[in-house]
Amino acid sequence: MPMTAFPLTGGCHCGQLRYTVRAEPLNVMVCHCDSCKKVTGQPFFARAVFPANAVEIRGEVAHYPSSSEITRRFCPICGSTVFAQRRTMLDRISVTLGSLDDPGAVPPTGHMFTGRMVGWLRLDDGLPRHVEFPPPA
């Protein structure tokens, strides 16, 4: 499935927080880890990682350190989780696919932490699955 033309735009549910992405993603994955499930309230977290300097953010952003490695960034008004960042990779930022104005514009290329996938979830997308992190590219 081809990706759409850039820039991409997106934002939170209430519209207070908006962003523009001006580069292609470094990777696009669906994460099934326990932390991602809890923070999104969903059975998985679909996100694209972009160079941080390619993402222009407008509006107020709150943050929450969801683990020793990851800081989640969200709208302080509506609570929509929009971004995540590894503390050791501040040059990159993850954008939630559901926050894109066109969530289908950037299709995932695989699943990670499938060893923690919820038992009732059935996936037939044919994408590679990794029990934990995918191997380095």
Give the model confidence (pLDDT) of 52-80 as tens digits. 999 999 999 999 998 899 999 999 999 99
What's residue 118's pLDDT? 95
- Report DSSP state, residue 40: H
Q: What residue ranges do the domains of the chain occupy? A: 8-117
pLDDT tens digits, one per residue of 91-122: 999 999 999 999 999 999 999 999 999 999 99
At 17, the amino acid letter reads L
pTM of the model: 0.91
Q: How far is CA 9 from the centre of its chain?
A: 14
- CA pair distance 105, 6, nearest whole angstrom: 10
Backbone φ, ψ for residue 104 (5° rounding): -90, 0
- CA pair distance 43, 34, nearest whole angstrom: 9
Topology of domain 8-117, CATH? 2.170.150
Whether the pLDDT of residue 7 is over 90: the answer is: yes
